[in-house]
Structure 1
């Protein structure tokens, strides 16, 4: 199932290589570069942590000391920001930035806003954890890599090691492995093969495992919490819905001004001409064409008004969601099995979103999926409205991005509508079908 809900952190387009070529993959070396590049940041972070604890705690008993402690605490965010940027560039993990603290005026606001910000405390706790983890990952990764390369090149540098007397009483030059000096051709070849295997198969896996551990720690301690990510997503979706609503209102205003209003002005002029002719005793045969023209303009204006009203709150919802869905399903050119089991009536906003979502999905199933039957289920689970629309079409449905100008269409538009009220949309549509789209909405829209 493809979920259309954004995760807390977004992995970039970095595909892990096949295990045979992993040692030569750019991703493997970027992960190794992260261990090396993050080491000085981790060391500096530990020093800042030590200063923050050693200075911040003693001086925090005074008012001026609280300001200093708040500054030292806020400074942890610098290292968190640097780590997130490095994680994005080298580890391929874009971590959602936690929500910023509310800026309050004055010294009291400066102190309280920073001491009450949970993400800042997580950043402080991250500094010692990051130091221990980064030192360990760097030492382990570079240790395995150096051992592998050393074994491969031992035949070159081993002859320059100092001479030693072995257990057999003979002098030897070279490294010792399992109690034996590697100074003969067979042992050197075997040692090189062992080093090559270590480089090709062991080091990439160890390096990747350590990088995965770094990703988990960075994501959990420096990323936005689930509640923060949810709030950010809802805020972004509501902004998109507001923008779309503003664009719709501007379009209606423009079309009313340039179309319907101009047509009504022409209608008024035609009726005024007919009235003047009647007052001057004109023959009915002269006035009849004007009346026909006015009648035609009136019908065209009604058509334009109906087109403008499309997408607004339909009167059928006044009788409830079930009645509205029955009407929507009856207009589909194939049989639709509708099941509605609600123990309460949702708010008007939720009813409108549910109605238009089902209408859009059934239209898509008819026009694009070439479905011959569908099933719509509406139920209540744990205080939320669950909508399921299943069709036997050809499948392949997915949430496509917008056009870059803030306009959303199709499933993307439905997703934005759902997110605007803290809802979700899931798409399960394999090629060849069937398609199952699930929308979860709260019973009432949040104010």
Structure 2
């Protein structure tokens, strides 16, 4: 209890010192130790085997007689590297919770020569081989990091080993009990029981340093996994382009369906009513029949009203596709938007280079949706909208002093904004802690 109270007191007064003292007892530290313990023999065996296979393959490939055998060995080495890479990705995910996306599957070529050529050009296989080979020194560093834990724990038992196990120096022994250190250059010896407490102090310091040594090695290993065992930048880019293309198609289809629905349920109904009213007026104006002026006037009023409402709905529909206020540029359009807001809005714009119409439209609709969220959901008393250009990007930032807690999937319309922004390789960032304030940042390229 006293130790726990002391740790809590330290944590309140010195967060850095608290992190250092708690590190050896954290679950993360022991998970990293387990990762290093398992990764070292796995990397040693896998790396050695891969070196042998690739070396034999490269040597045979240089020979005219055994070139085919060499190519087959190289192919086998690349397949082995892919498998070992998958094992290392799984180990990092199981012990450290670091999930690395699986690289794309191998795509064989046509015919025997095509398949061999595709295997030898397998970029994922070569990058996996690079990681497995790099794992040899990295795994050795991991084993050295574990040595810090071992020496620290062994030194903590020095008084016990002296008193209970009888590890006192023998008569005539000038050295005594060795004081272990992770530095491989030998260390001092203890020849008295009081000196064993110096070993305890050294062990405690070593244990306090051990988690950070382990973490440094693991961080380097995880960087290699992300760089060499993941899909790669080209594959990530292809996947992003496929996703954004699908989003753009879905967005256009949804827009067409909305336009069709609005036309069918709104303007089309109004225009049909206008046509029917005109037919009835035409029937009431037949020569030779008495003219009912009151009825004709009602029919004309009804047709006029339906035509006016149809025009209004068509105008609103066109405005939803491309707001006319954008004809004069995004700053003027946002000024009109903020002027109509029921919440006071401070607007600042700095757009020296006008973006393309598609980017302006997306930025305008993002601002309109976010301002609607401020009015409906935030309870804010004021808001700010800022638009700037920097490094070839259009940056839209909407801030309010409301209650906060905004998140995607809570009826805020943010998922739709994320999809719309991604169609042009943009991004959206939401920072909305409970109690506020809320800041939503949208970054778009200047050209779609």
**What TM-score, normalized by structure 2, do the two folds share?**
0.73
- What are the equivalent positions in structure 2 for 1:320-399 lying under 5 Å apart? 320-321=329-330, 324-325=333-334, 327-332=336-341, 334=344, 337-343=347-353, 345-364=354-373, 368=378, 370=380, 372=382, 374=384, 376-379=386-389, 381=390, 384-389=392-397, 393-394=400-401
Any gaps of 5 or more consecutive residues in structure 2?
1-17, 180-187
**1:137 Cα deviation after fit:** 0.8
Cα gap change, 1:401/1:231 in structure 2, threshold over 3 Å: closer, same or farther?
A: farther
Q: 2:84 maps to which residue? A: 79
Q: 2:152 maps to which residue? A: 148
What's the CA shift string for 1:152-181, capped at 9, x where partnerless? Answer: 445555645688624479xx9x84433334
RCO comparison, higher one (Cα < 8 Å, 6+): 1
Q: Matches of 1:90 and 1:265 in 2, distance apart?
A: 67
Task: Work out whether residues 142 and 217 of structure 2, in 8 Å CA contact, stay in contact via their aligned partners in 1.
Answer: yes
- What are the equivalent positions in structure 2 for 1:33-112 lying under 5 Å apart? 33-60=34-61, 62=67, 65-66=70-71, 68-98=73-103, 104-112=109-117
- What are the equivalent positions in structure 2 for 1:141-290 lying under 5 Å apart? 141=146, 143-154=147-158, 159-160=164-165, 165-167=170-172, 175-177=177-179, 178-181=188-191, 184=193, 186=194, 191-192=199-200, 195=203, 198-199=206-207, 201-226=208-233, 228-258=235-265, 260-262=267-269, 264-265=271-272, 268-279=275-286, 283-290=292-299
Task: Work out whether residues 406 and 432 of structure 2, in 8 Å CA contact, stay in contact via their aligned partners in 1.
Answer: no
**1:47 Cα deviation after fit:** 3.6
Q: Matches of 1:400 and 1:438 in 2, distance apart?
A: 13
Q: Matches of 2:116 and 2:388 in 1, distance apart?
A: 50
**1:330 Cα deviation after fit:** 4.6
**1:440 Cα deviation after fit:** 4.2
Cα gap change, 1:112/1:147 in structure 2, threshold over 3 Å: closer, same or farther?
A: same
Q: 2:27 maps to which residue? A: 26
What's the CA shift string for 1:270-318, capped at 9, x where partnerless? Answer: 5544544554756233444444444444445445445544531233444
Q: 1:312 maps to which residue? A: 321
What's the CA shift string for 1:74-115, capped at 9, x where partnerless? Answer: 431222222222222222323344556665433444344444
Q: Matches of 1:341 and 1:49 in 2, distance apart?
A: 56
Equivalences, count: 414
Q: Matches of 2:171 and 2:306 in 1, distance apart?
A: 110
Task: Work out whether residues 237 and 417 of structure 1, in 8 Å CA contact, stay in contact via their aligned partners in 2.
Answer: no
Q: Matches of 2:120 and 2:305 in 1, distance apart?
A: 71
Any gaps of 5 or more consecutive residues in structure 1?
1-16
**1:133 Cα deviation after fit:** 1.3
Cα gap change, 1:67/1:401 in structure 2, threshold over 3 Å: closer, same or farther?
A: farther
Task: Work out whether residues 386 and 438 of structure 1, in 8 Å CA contact, stay in contact via their aligned partners in 2.
Answer: no
Q: How large is the Cα RMSD of the aligned pairs?
A: 4.2
Q: Matches of 2:61 and 2:233 in 1, distance apart?
A: 31
What's the CA shift string for 1:173-218, capped at 9, x where partnerless? Answer: x844333346x4x55566556545544x233333333322322332
Task: Work out whether residues 405 and 434 of structure 2, in 8 Å CA contact, stay in contact via their aligned partners in 1.
Answer: no
Q: Matches of 1:408 and 1:120 in 2, distance apart?
A: 44
Q: Matches of 1:351 and 1:102 in 2, distance apart?
A: 41
Q: 2:184 maps to which residue? A: none
- State the secondary structure of the residue aligned to 1:441: strand
Q: Which moved more, 1:117-126 or 1:368-377?
A: 368-377
Identify the structure with the greater helix proportion.
2
Task: Work out whether residues 326 and 338 of structure 1, in 8 Å CA contact, stay in contact via their aligned partners in 2.
Answer: no
Cα gap change, 1:399/1:41 in structure 2, threshold over 3 Å: closer, same or farther?
A: farther
Q: Which residue, out of 120, 124, 129, partners 2:125?
A: 120
Task: Work out whether residues 393 and 445 of structure 2, in 8 Å CA contact, stay in contact via their aligned partners in 1.
Answer: yes
Q: 1:418 maps to which residue? A: 421
Q: Matches of 1:310 and 1:104 in 2, distance apart?
A: 51
**1:73 Cα deviation after fit:** 1.9
Task: Work out whether residues 398 and 427 of structure 1, in 8 Å CA contact, stay in contact via their aligned partners in 2.
Answer: no
